[in-house]
């Protein structure tokens, strides 16, 4: 019966772990007794387990009281049950994986302009070249260019490619944050609240990024129109005024 021998550990953490293990054995015995299954241990063994659990419980209570007495008043707080416990900081309440994901999200959001601008700008520039330089400078007049720029906004495939180019990072962050939220959603603590807010923050970043993409597209169209008008004015000035 080595599994059920008294074992009062030296450290507080080991005592807590042993108490949880003994309680697990007692619960297994009670469940088997209630369901009429084969008992995992004898009556003598369960009596010793219950006695050990009581000893561990008293030992931990005394250890906790001694530990609290050694703390300063600043390091103590009263919990919801009115019991004096050791004060826990906000950082101590956050799971290490949630904290790591917060740092990862912050780094990604800070580097997002650099990670996405090259791909998205290259896609946008190639589209501008397609709809303006070939058609605007070489073949058609200003009216055709204006019609062409209006058609540009109806090219769903292009804007889909641009948005994916610019928005792949916030989309990835949303997927990861949703996954992290589903892991911690049942805990109903600070970790669950943080992961929920991370989802909302990343969705906001996504919507903001879409607005930036559309604004940049509109500015690109306006830039090409102004450059064309300047080109027309330069040609007119050279032909009409410069020759006189």
For the cut 70, the answer to whether the pLDDT of residue 130 exceeds it is: no
Across the range 82-104, mean pLDDT stands at 65
For the cut 80, the answer to whether the pLDDT of residue 173 exceeds it is: no
**What is the dihedral angle through the alpha carbons of 114, 120, 125, 131, rounded to the nearest 10 degrees?**
-160
Long-range residue pairs from 132-141, CB within 8 A, at least 24 positions apart, any chain = 132/224, 132/228, 136/224, 136/228, 137/228, 137/231
**Tens digits of residue pLDDT in 205-241:** 777 777 776 676 666 666 666 766 776 777 766 676 6
* Dist. CA 38–CA 41, nearest whole Å: 9
Q: What is the pLDDT of residue 163?
A: 67
Which pLDDT band holds residue 85 (cuts at 50, 70, 90)?
Answer: very low
For the cut 70, the answer to whether the pLDDT of residue 21 exceeds it is: yes
Label residue 7 exposed, middle or buried (CB < 10 Å: 0-12, 13-18, 19+): middle
Across the range 139-154, mean pLDDT stands at 51
Q: Taking a C-beta distance cutoff of 8 angstroms, is the pair 176, 125 a contact?
A: no
pTM: 0.42
* Dist. CA 166–CA 106, nearest whole Å: 17
What residues does each domain of the chain span?
Answer: 2-87, 92-241
* Dist. CA 67–CA 84, nearest whole Å: 12
For the cut 50, the answer to whether the pLDDT of residue 83 exceeds it is: no
Which pLDDT band holds residue 2 (cuts at 50, 70, 90)?
Answer: very low
Which pLDDT band holds residue 39 (cuts at 50, 70, 90)?
Answer: confident
* Dist. CA 217–CA 220, nearest whole Å: 5
**Tens digits of residue pLDDT in 49-81:** 888 888 877 766 656 555 555 555 545 444 554
For the cut 70, the answer to whether the pLDDT of residue 34 exceeds it is: yes
> Which residues contact residue 243 at a Cβ distance below 8 angstroms, ignoring those fewer than 6 apart?
none
Which pLDDT band holds residue 84 (cuts at 50, 70, 90)?
Answer: very low
Report the relative pairing of strands 76-78 and 84-86 from DSSP bridges. antiparallel
Mean pLDDT of the chain: 68
Q: What is the pLDDT of residue 73?
A: 52
């Amino acid at each position: 019966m080595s599994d059920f021998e008294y074992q009062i550990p030296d450290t507080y953490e080991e005592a807590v772990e042993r108490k949880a293990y003994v309680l697990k054995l007692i619960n297994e015995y009670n469940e088997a007794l209630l369901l009429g299954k084969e008992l995992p241990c004898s009556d003598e063994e369960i009596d010793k387990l219950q006695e050990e659990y009581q000893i561990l419980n008293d030992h931990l209570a005394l250890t906790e009281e001694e530990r609290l007495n050694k703390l300063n008043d600043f390091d103590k707080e009263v919990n919801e049950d009115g019991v004096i416990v050791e004060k826990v900081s906000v950082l101590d309440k956050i799971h290490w994986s949630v904290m790591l994901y917060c740092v990862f999200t912050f780094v990604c959001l800070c580097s997002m302009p650099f990670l996405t601008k090259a791909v998205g700008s290259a896609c946008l520039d190639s589209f501008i070249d397609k709809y303006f330089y070939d058609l605007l400078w070489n073949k058609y007049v200003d009216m055709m260019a204006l019609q062409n720029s209006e058609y540009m906004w109806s090219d769903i495939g292009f804007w889909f490619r641009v948005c994916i180019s610019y928005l792949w990072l916030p989309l990835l962050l949303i997927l990861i944050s949703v996954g992290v939220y589903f892991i911690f959603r049942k805990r109903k603590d600070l970790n669950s609240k943080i992961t929920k807010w991370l989802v909302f923050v990343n969705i906001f970043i996504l919507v903001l990024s879409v607005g930036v993409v559309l604004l940049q597209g509109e500015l690109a169209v306006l830039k090409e129109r102004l450059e064309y008008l300047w080109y027309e004015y330069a040609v007119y000035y050279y032909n009409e005024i410069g020759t006189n």
